[in-house]
């Protein structure tokens, strides 16, 4: 079992290191390699943020916009991504084990190498089928639809 999620209620403030990393993330729109485990980042606009290699395990990212963000190698295990926007994000080798992905927009996201442990993370069977159809339509070249070939190029970070 990993570390207990950090509480973000007013009665229990975040540890100063985590608070400093959140401030850095907001000020610089990035915090590669930061430890933001359990942090409450719900509803933030983090479009194009660089969080590569960061630890966001157990973080609350519900409703957060991470469109075109660099999330390569990020630990998002047990994170709440309900309704988050990850359209066009680079999730190369990101760990989403146990993450809640209900209503998450992954359109155009780079998902090759991403760890998705449980289908139930996505929701009902119909949601899973829709997710897989959307994923395949965005990752397969038009002339190779249906052969499970994943040849989409990884996005380049500026």
Of 17, 16, 34, nearest in space to 70 by CA: 34
Of 130, 114, 132, nearest in space to 71 by CA: 114
Could you report the per-residue pLDDT of 99-144, keeping only the tens digit for each? Answer: 998 899 999 999 888 888 765 455 555 555 666 666 555 555 544 4
Q: Where are the domains of the chain?
A: 31-140
Class level of CATH domain 31-140: mainly beta
Answer whether 0.75 is exceeded by the pTM: no
Burial code (b: 16+ CB inside 10 Å, e: under 16) for 19-46 equals eebbeebeeeebbbebbbbbbbbbebeb
Confidence of residue 18 (pLDDT cuts 50, 70, 90): confident
Q: What distance in Å separates the CA atoms of residue 4 and residue 131, rounded to the nearest whole number?
A: 30
Angle 69-147-111 (CA atoms, 0-180°, nearest 5)?
Answer: 15
Could you report the per-residue pLDDT of 57-97, keeping only the tens digit for each? Answer: 999 999 999 999 999 999 999 999 999 999 999 999 999 99
């Amino acid at each position: 079992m990993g570390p207990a999620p950090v509480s973000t209620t007013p009665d229990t403030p975040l540890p100063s290191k985590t608070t400093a990393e959140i401030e850095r993330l907001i000020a610089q729109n990035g915090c590669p390699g930061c430890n933001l485990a359990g942090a409450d980042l719900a509803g933030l606009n983090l479009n194009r943020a660089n969080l590569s290699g960061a630890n966001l395990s157990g973080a609350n990212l519900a409703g957060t916009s991470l469109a075109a963000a660099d999330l390569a190698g990020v630990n998002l295990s047990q994170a709440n991504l309900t309704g988050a926007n990850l359209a066009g994000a680079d999730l190369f080798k990101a760990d989403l084990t146990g993450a809640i992905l209900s209503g998450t927009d992954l359109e155009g996201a780079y998902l090759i190498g991403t760890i998705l442990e449980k289908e139930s993370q996505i929701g009902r069977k119909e949601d899973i089928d829709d997710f897989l159809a959307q994923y395949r339509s965005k990752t397969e070249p038009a002339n190779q639809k249906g052969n499970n070939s994943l040849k989409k190029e990884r996005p380049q970070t500026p």
